[in-house]
Amino acid sequence: MFINNTSVEDDVHGQVEDGIGTITLNRPDRRNALSDAMISGLESLLDTMLDSDEVGVIVLTGAGKAFCSGGDVQDFDAKGGEGGGATEIDQEAVEAQRQAQLRTVAKIHRSRKPVIAAIPGAAAGAGLGLALAADFRIGSERAVFATAFVAVGLSGDFGVAWLLNDIVGPVKARELMLLNPRVRAEEARELGLLNEVVAEDQLEARVRELAGQLAAGPALAYEYMLDNLDRAPRVSLEESMDAEVPLHKKTGLTEDHIGAVRAFVEKRQPVFGRHRTHAGGTA
């Protein structure tokens, strides 16, 4: 079971309060560069929060001045490069990283609970992938993005190429991957890499406000909205509409819907539960 304040590993912390699950990458002295312990802890916390009825929204952030600087280049150097000095690909390492990416980036992107990335500073390399996988990205004025891979002679991982292509389009994605410019907060907002830019001292409060709004919303409706949005680019309009109707009708059976309709008629704000139940029983 998830406990409200849990340190899964020293490198990542989890907390749940008022329906908001917060995961903090916690290596501020290394700009939250990814360690094996951090990835393992992130996987575990994501699983727990996604399975918990106590959690309506997940916030992913970094301790200190950075979000996540990606792979630990100092560690690469110490072990003779990302491949550990080997001359052939280690297939076990390939599969281990594939699984780690599926259990982090893919899980965030496919989450049926809203995910907010709170970005205090740099998001680079694999850290950029984690940020781009979220539904919302709120950055401080100090936020800066970089693909970073070309700077260390790597082609890229953690879904960055796919996510950039999806968010900014193929032309800009190629520019960001191959030329590796530093994209600062306002430009990032204009490109769609950030939803909002706020003052550094307002980041926590703004993210908390947005997370509170989402945590108080209709859980099943959010789940199905995200289903519809994920499906939309891969199918025709007709197929999309065919798929969305039964989901829409199913939300019409929920206590959240019936209570919200009554609140609308009575000219008051609805109060949603984080349950996924029908008016007459279970989902």
Calpha distance 159→147 (Å, rounded): 11
The pLDDT value given to residue 81: 61
Q: What mean pLDDT, rounded, does the chain reach? A: 90
- Per-residue pLDDT tens for 217-239? 999 999 999 999 999 999 999 99
The pLDDT value given to residue 74: 74
Percentage, residues of the chain above pLDDT 70: 89
Half-sphere exposure of 38 (CA within 13 A, CB side): 25
- Per-residue pLDDT tens for 55-105? 999 999 999 999 999 987 777 656 666 667 667 878 998 899 999 999 999
Q: Does domain 5-215 have CATH number 3.30.200.20?
A: no
Q: Mark residue 85 as left, alpha or beta (left: phi above 0; alpha: psi -120 to 50; beta: remaining).
A: left
Calpha distance 84→73 (Å, rounded): 12
Q: Look-up: residue for tokens 């032309």?
A: 171
The pLDDT value given to residue 72: 75
92 sits in which H/E element: helix 91-101
Select the more confidently predicted residue: 83 or 202: 202
**Residues of CATH 1.10.12 domain(s) within the chain?**
219-265
For the beta carbon of residue 242, count every other beta carbon within 10 angstroms.
11
Q: Does domain 219-265 have CATH number 1.10.8?
A: no
The residues, ordered by sequence, that sit 6+ positions from 250 with a Cβ below 8 Å of its Cβ are: 220, 224, 278, 283
Percentage, residues of the chain above pLDDT 90: 82
**Residues of CATH 3.90.226.10 domain(s) within the chain?**
5-215
The pLDDT value given to residue 280: 47
The pLDDT value given to residue 29: 93
Closest CA to 217 of 273, 134, 258, 261: 273
The pLDDT value given to residue 71: 80
DSSP classification of residue 21: E
